[in-house]
Amino acid sequence: MGHLIPLIELATRLTHFNFTITILILNDGSPPSKSQLSLLQNLPPSISYIHVSPIDVSDLQSDCTIESRITLTITRSILGIRDSLRVLSKATRLVSVVVDLLGSSILHMAQEFGALSYVFFLTSALGFCCACTLPKLDKIHSCEYRDLPDPVHFVPGLVPVHGADFPDPVQDRKHGVYQLFINLVGSYSDATGILINMIVVEKLIFLRFTPIGPVIRSGSEDGLIDGSGSIKWLDEQPSDSVLFVSFGSGGNLSYEQVVELALGLELSGQRFLWVVKTPNNKSNASFFGVANNIDNPLEYLPQGFLDRTKGLGLVVPNWAPQVQILSHGSTGGFLTHCGWNSTLESIVHGVPLIAWPLYAEQKLNSVLVADDLNVALRVKPNEKGLIDREQIAEYAKCLMQGEQGKILREKMRALKHAAVAALDEDGSSKQSLAKVVEEMKNHKII
């Protein structure tokens, strides 16, 4: 979902320039989720999708990382992707192929059909700079990046980053996914251009990418009906009084951490709206812990918690309309895993953050929002790797009622104005996308 949502939003923007868009859906044998199906079934008329021929991934180990699975799915789908592009090229004028940041291995295929090719880098400029620096760091250092004594300056002017905050796929240099990631970055040079989901930053203007963000969801989310009662409940709360708590589509906590989070929210005395999911069975967070959330996640909450916090908080199982919640006047803070989609949505709606990164590049995003943009508090796990209830209560009270929280809120609202301005008719992101569109329209297929 974290990849599909921004790709569909970009496709929707391109339809405003009279393009028709076809999305290629790869098939590794896993059934699509309800949210994925709903997204695809509610596409605008100018966007269609094709299911590429299914591939076999039964040989992959159960502990295979999600990045490895996605990359191998793409690699093994090459023939099916080529067949789909061949059909498209015969039926229409195929001017461009756009891939996400993990799909750069198929960029060369665009050249076979005389089309331009673009990488849509779905995360931050800091993430892009980290990715582009990795091949150089790979040659300079032999140790694990988390063991580097000093933080790394990717480019002048950007906040330095400790190796422990690098993305998960590069934290174990002996793992196969590490070399996959290095190879992916190397293939970015095959692209006509790199589109990045951010607003323009002066200190990064010299880098080779085109900022077209923020590309986020708008309006009714995923075509899903809100049965949670979240918006009705928010309508009854005071302005800026509610802390929204959600860890995204792929974020699960351990049972012990769920208990600490519940008791911390209770201890804080702050109003909260918590999207709770079934915990996984590990001591720390992981990707997609329990398939489809079959269990009732409310059963894992501390005994009496729901009764004790009735009126103070609302607990919603599995899903709530995040964009509508963040845009609501009663929402005053967001405790988030720092997925880039969620981070951009909070920026566009001016909601300050408590940054609680879980996986992928989320630690990197938390460094950006906490240390560079100064719009977030970043949690610090204890020696057991947990955020305990007292810490959680302090973070919540600080963000929602403390002086530091007021400062973060003011800075986030200033950032909101910059993001909205970038998408105005004469804004930097709107103009950048227009130049890319012009490049596509003027391309002559050989």
* Average per-residue pLDDT for the chain: 91
The tokens describing 141, both together, are 């250092």
- Write down the pLDDT at residue 280: 84
Q: Count CB atoms within 10 A of the CB of residue 15.
A: 15
- For residue 237, the 8-state DSSP code is S
Q: Count CB atoms within 10 A of the CB of residue 375.
A: 26
Query: How many Å apart are CA 112 and CA 124, to the nearest integer?
Result: 30
Catalytically active residues, by annotation: 3, 100
pLDDT at 127 over 90: yes
- Write down the pLDDT at residue 284: 37
- Write down the pLDDT at residue 277: 94
Q: Count CB atoms within 10 A of the CB of residue 71.
A: 22
Query: How many Å apart are CA 339 and CA 365, to the nearest integer?
Result: 7
What value does the mean pLDDT take over residues 179-188?
91
Name which of 234-243, 270-279, 288-297, 328-337 the model is least confident about: 288-297
Exposed/middle/buried for residue 424 (C-beta within 10 Å: 0-12, 13-18, 19+): exposed
Percent of the chain past pLDDT 70, that is, above it, reads 93
Query: How many Å apart are CA 21 and CA 46, to the nearest integer?
Result: 6
* 291 CB-side CA count, 13 A: 3
Amino acid at 224: L
Query: How many Å apart are CA 165 and CA 146, to the nearest integer?
Result: 8
Domain ranges in the chain?
A: 4-213+425-441, 230-421
- Write down the pLDDT at residue 281: 65
- Write down the pLDDT at residue 205: 57
Residues with Cβ within 8 Å of residue 346, at least 6 apart in sequence: 326, 334, 336, 352, 353, 412
Which of left, alpha, beta for 114 (phi over 0: left; psi -120 to 50: alpha)? left
Q: Which CATH superfamily is domain 4-213+425-441 in?
A: Glycogen Phosphorylase B; (3.40.50.2000)
Name which of 293-297, 379-383, 390-394, 420-424 the model is least confident about: 293-297
pTM: 0.93
Query: How many Å apart are CA 151 and CA 222, to the nearest integer?
Result: 39
Residue 335: phi and psi, rounded to 5, are -90, 110
The tokens describing 34, both together, are 């309800």
How many residues make up the chain in this entry?
A: 446
Domain 4-213+425-441 and domain 230-421 have a common topology: yes
- Write down the pLDDT at residue 224: 58
- Write down the pLDDT at residue 339: 96
- Write down the pLDDT at residue 407: 98
- Write down the pLDDT at residue 218: 74
Gyration radius (Cα) of the chain, Å:
22
- Write down the pLDDT at residue 201: 62
The tokens describing 7, both together, are 């790709």
pLDDT at 117 over 80: yes
pLDDT at 282 over 60: no
Query: Residue 361 in 3-state DSSP?
Result: coil
pLDDT at 289 over 60: no
Q: Which CATH superfamily is domain 230-421 in?
A: Glycogen Phosphorylase B; (3.40.50.2000)
Tracing tokens 């599995």 back to the chain, one arrives at 318
List C-alpha distances in Å: 425 to 114, 209, 255, 429.
31, 20, 48, 9
- Write down the pLDDT at residue 13: 95
Name which of 129-143, 285-299, 410-424 the model is least confident about: 285-299
**Helices 403-422 and 428-441, packing angle to 10 deg:** 30
Q: How confident is the model at residue 113 (pLDDT cuts 50, 70, 90)?
A: very high
pLDDT at 220 over 60: no
